[in-house]
Amino acid sequence: MESKLRKWIKANIRVGVRRTAKFFILEVTAALHTRWTALFRRVESRNNLRLNMGCGDKRKEGWVNIDLHPAADIKTDVRRKLPFCSNSACVIYSEHLFEHLEYPEEAMQFLRESHRVLAPGGMFSVGVPDTELVLRAYVEGDFVPKQLGLMDIPGCDTPMHCINYLFHQGGEHKHLYDFDTLAKILREAGFENVRRRDFDPELDSDDRRIGTLYVNAERPSPH
């Protein structure tokens, strides 16, 4: 049940002000993040790390889960320099994180840092909303929210409402991608062998199975 305070805020404070206050609090939290945890001190010199970036509450066992969320192993802001040694990870994974980064500054910073942390031959695996799928369905008149992973989104009762949610998500989505665009910037960041992949039930979240574009790329090995 919604609290009286929350109802009063919604009734008396404009949405733009509420959104600005929310992002200000998030930025202050990020600036004060605790980078040097005991776990980090244990893993900072290890190799073959598996890093789950922007994990939220979707932890992966056997991985180092990274976010500002309370469930994370290491609480750090992934938009800044990553607190890991170069060449220390064999795989970096993120699911529905990348679209929350401003492009190009934050997005390219994250890719460059991921490239640095990955060992040569290491895998960068990313999942983002499949924008092409949604726009194609809209243009072709075949827009079914359930088939696009948008069934349970409040207010997605028309195709355009769903598209607006996808593009904005209350101001949290910063940039959206299709495969060609994502592949281009991955290559610009130094990755190679960029390819689309299928949903992997052992790696990806089941509630993201529909409507997500999954892409793998590799840090080149020395020739």
Tens-digit pLDDT profile for residues 191-210: 999 999 999 999 999 999 98
Has residue 9 got a pLDDT over 80? no
What pLDDT, on a 0 to 100 scale, did the predictor assign at position 36? 47
Output 159 or 213, whichever has higher pLDDT: 213
**What integer pLDDT is reported at residue 16 of this predicted model?**
58
Residue 28: phi, psi to the nearest 5?
-65, -45
pLDDT for 88 equals 94
Superfamily of domain 35-218: Vaccinia Virus protein VP39 (3.40.50.150)
Its pTM stands at 0.83
- For residues 71-92, average pLDDT: 91
Is residue 105 over pLDDT 80?
Answer: yes
Asked whether the predicted pLDDT for residue 121 surpasses 90, the reply is: yes
Mean pLDDT, range 57-67, rounded to an integer: 94
User: Once rounded to an integer, what is the mean pLDDT over residues 155-159?
Assistant: 80
